[in-house]
Amino acid sequence: MNSLSPDLRGDAAAIEAVLIVATEPVATSLLAELLEVSGERVEHVCASLSASYEEEERGFELARVAGGYRFQSHPAYRGHVERFVVDDAPQRLSPAALETLAIVAYKQPISRAQVAAIRGVNADGVIRVLQSRGYVEPVGRDGGPGQAVLFGTTQLFLERLGIDSTGDLPPLGQFVPDVSTVEALEHVLRTGPVPTADAEE
């Protein structure tokens, strides 16, 4: 890190590591906590880092948005990025993605594991796509031991579907089991029948 003063390098690299994996802007306070330094220090390091990227004519920049920091592409390479986004993006949602979106829309807030239990297959990749498209977002955490992230649909989702709220979604015609019922069902399917009073007859 040539253009950065040596006393900043360690903290700067740690911030780079965190921001490269972050999908949302990371608040100064959270960075401070992770690095065990003060908020002022974080701001100082980030400002220096940002200036060094600019000076080194990098293709990315360290931007301060919404009270936090994030990596984003440099405006100078907007053309490349636009072409990439247009070329590379699948033109329609895959059936798996649409199914997952429907599940999230009707069952929100819902965790990845609960979506997987309903779909019968792992849904992590699909949820990531939906999240990167801005159709679903984390809306909270489960109270349970794992504190699983719970997902819900976004404003963009409502706009694209042309409705005002998820309450405007058509009601489902049939009885829809709640998530725990589906999980119990899934468990039974995997491990064999659970003896119940009914089954005894």
Partner 1 sequence: MAYEVHIDVFDGPFDLLLRLIAAQQVDVYEVRLADIVDAFLTEMRRLGTLDLELATQFLLVAATLVELKCRRLLPGSGEVDLDDDLALFEARDYLLARLVECKTFSAAASVLALLERSAQRSLARRAGPDERFDRCAPDLLAGVTPEQLAAVAERAFAARPLEPSYVPYPSGEDVSVHATIEELVSSLPGRGRVSFRVLTAGAASPAHVVACFLALLELYKQSLVDLEQSETFGELTVVWSARGPVEPADVVSDAYDAAELEAASAGMAGRRVVPRAGSGRATPVGATVPQRTPGPTDAGGAR
Report 73-102 residues binding partner 1 (CB under 8 A): 73-75, 78, 81-82, 85-86, 88-93, 95, 97-99, 101-102
Instruction: Say which entry of a second copy, partner 1, none residue 197 contacts (CB below 5 to 8 A, set by partner kind).
Output: none
Q: Does 32 bind partner 1 (CB under 8 A)?
A: no
Q: Long-range pairs for 27-30 at CB < 8 Å and ≥24 separation?
A: 27/67, 27/68, 28/67, 28/68, 28/69, 30/68
Helix, strand, or coil (residue 110): strand
118 exposed, middle or buried (CB, 10 Å; 0-12, 13-18, 19+)? buried
CB atoms within 10 A of CB 89: 11
Q: Does 116 bind partner 1 (CB under 8 A)?
A: yes
Instruction: Say which entry of partner 1, a second copy, none residue 80 contacts (CB below 5 to 8 A, set by partner kind).
Output: a second copy
In the complex with a second copy, the residue whose CB is nearer, 51 or 76, is 76
Residue 13's closest CA among 45, 40, 37, 39? 45
Q: From residue 106 to residue 145, what is the string marking binding to a second copy with x (rule CB under 8 A)?
A: ---------------xx-xx--xx--xxx-----------
Q: From residue 53 to residue 72, what is the string marking binding to a second copy with x (rule CB under 8 A)?
A: ---xxxxx----------xx
